[in-house]
Amino acid sequence: MDLILASQSPRRRALLEHFGFKFRVEVLSVEEVQSGPPLATARANAVAKAQPVSLRYPQALVLGADTIVVLDGLILGKPRDAEDARRMLRALSGRAHEVTTVVALLRNGQEERVVSETTKVQFRQLTEAEITGYVATGEPLDKAGAYGIQGLGGLLVQSIKGCYYNVVGLPVPRLVEELRPYGIEVFSSR
């Protein structure tokens, strides 16, 4: 079965390529939900990303995903600007937060499976100079929660409990299990 990634995220694409998945990318414009309970918001966005692609390619399995950073029950999205990034990083400093990715698998426009994975991330106590220096790199400006664990933002993290790849943007070990019933295997005779 063909696997289609309905996401513009270079991190998701890189993870799938790194682990040897055979897939192609198709992205159609959708309006993302910006408010509501965090898990419901992520679920709605993951399904919304996959839905139009699934209708266009009804025989393929379409993967949509949405990753959210949650602190004190509120979603920390991508920062509006450098000052917003600094505000988010100050809020995360010395504290734990959750990163949840919802993965939606659709075929013929219908939901086949929708699953979520949550990882707890503990930031170390950050100095104002570290926050300013990190924001100056530009890395946090296009990332939910204003950091990327796979880049320089990994230096801000003290520990994680759960799946590292989930924090990057796709819980790949879980995805392997979810794709198996569709005959999509990474460790098969190539």
Residue 136 burial class via C-beta count within 10 angstroms: exposed 0-12, middle 13-18, buried 19 and up: exposed
Tell me the three state secondary structure of residue 175. helix
84 belongs to the catalytic site: no
Inter-residue contact 15 to 170 (CB < 8 Å): yes
Angle at 166 between CA 27 and CA 140, to 5 degrees: 75
- Of the candidates 45, 142, 149, which has an alpha carbon nearest to the alpha carbon of residue 92? 149
Q: What tokens appear for 113 in the block?
A: 């499976």
- Of the candidates 166, 148, 151, 164, which has an alpha carbon nearest to the alpha carbon of residue 79? 148
Query: 66, 81, 84, 142: which is the annotated catalytic residue?
Result: 66
Indicate which residues carry an active-site annotation: 66
